[in-house]
Amino acid sequence: MQQTLRAPLAPLVAAALIAGCALRHDEIAPDPIPPAAYASADCRQLAQMQAKTNRTLIFSEIAQDHRYAEDRTRTFGVPMPMALLFEERGEANVARLKGDSLALAAQLERGGCLRDGG
């Protein structure tokens, strides 16, 4: 009786593991962060924050894509979500940084910090 109960659970467990795999960085939506969160900063501070955020975002996206690749590593033909099992999930960090980057860009524009190059 126990044997018949385990057999139907195996595909569900496999599906849950595969569904838990890391996403590519371009599949992660930005967190909604209002530009007003940066309203107290001046143009110089906004530019510095945006540069730091964008730099951190690039490295976070590279790390996230590495997790994605690790999760697709196959053992005996079966995908093994190794990053899911052994590493922190980075989706939340990438989403937050994407949201911060968009909010900072909007606040730079809203604050009149962007000048026409011509």
User: What confidence tens digit (pLDDT) does each residue in 16-75 have?
Assistant: 444 557 888 999 999 999 999 999 999 999 999 999 999 999 999 999 998 888 777 755
| Residues 100 and 53 sit within 8 Å (Cβ to Cβ) | yes
pLDDT of residue 88: 58
Comparing CA positions, the residue from 101, 108, 107 lying closest to residue 53 is 101
| Residues 31 and 103 sit within 8 Å (Cβ to Cβ) | no
